Amino acid sequence: MASPFGHALVGLGLFNFFYPRRVVSRKKTGLLYGLVILGACSPDLDFLPGLFSGSPGRFHHGPFHSLGMAVALSLIVGFLIAFFGKTHSFAKTTSFVFVLIFSHLALDFFSEDFKPPFGFPLFWPFSYTYFLSPWGILPYVERNFSNPAIWSQILKVFLVESLLFLPFFFYSLKRKACRKKNE
């Protein structure tokens, strides 16, 4: 599955496209980017219950990796932002959070997965069928740090994700800078 690095690059690139103008002060930009990265990686928070139970992968790729959860989380965040940040559009915030979480699902869908169950329940709660693309574009990484080959796998994932996602991220920054210059 895609790494947090890949999810973060795609999420930040999407943020720059959705919000080409500065949304908050320069001081708060770091916090906002941190929240965007958290949102882009949010489906992987299903690792936390497994960590506490001593089996990190036990709940991974369950309902958190689904369109149902993407809709629910985007509506919750949209309502919270609309309630506390009266100047922000509910529709735009909700759509951005949905696209952010959907990007996570899309990256995981096109990743290699060698551990059953293969894929994730994309259409949960309507279907518990697991989905995974037959074409794994992003390489698999064994998340077992006792495996001596893990560091070469991590390096491979980092290189592949850098080649695929850094151009998108830098293009989004360049586009954002051009818009600021034209205003």
pLDDT tens by residue, 138-181: 998 777 677 788 888 889 999 999 999 999 999 999 988 887 66
User: Which has the closest alpha carbon to 138: 167, 163, 116, 171?
Assistant: 163
What does the block give as tokens for 164? 């695929």
Q: What is the pTM of this model?
A: 0.91
Q: Give the number of domains in the chain.
A: 1
User: Which has the closest alpha carbon to 41: 15, 13, 7?
Assistant: 7
pLDDT at 84: 85
User: Which has the closest alpha carbon to 105: 61, 148, 75?
Assistant: 61
pLDDT at 180: 66
Residue range of the domain that includes 58: 4-182
What does the block give as tokens for 166? 């850094």
CA dist 169 and 42 (Å) reads 19
CA dist 58 and 73 (Å) reads 22
List, for residues 69-98, the tens digit of each pLDDT value.
999 999 999 999 888 877 778 999 999 999
User: Which has the closest alpha carbon to 79: 69, 87, 90?
Assistant: 90
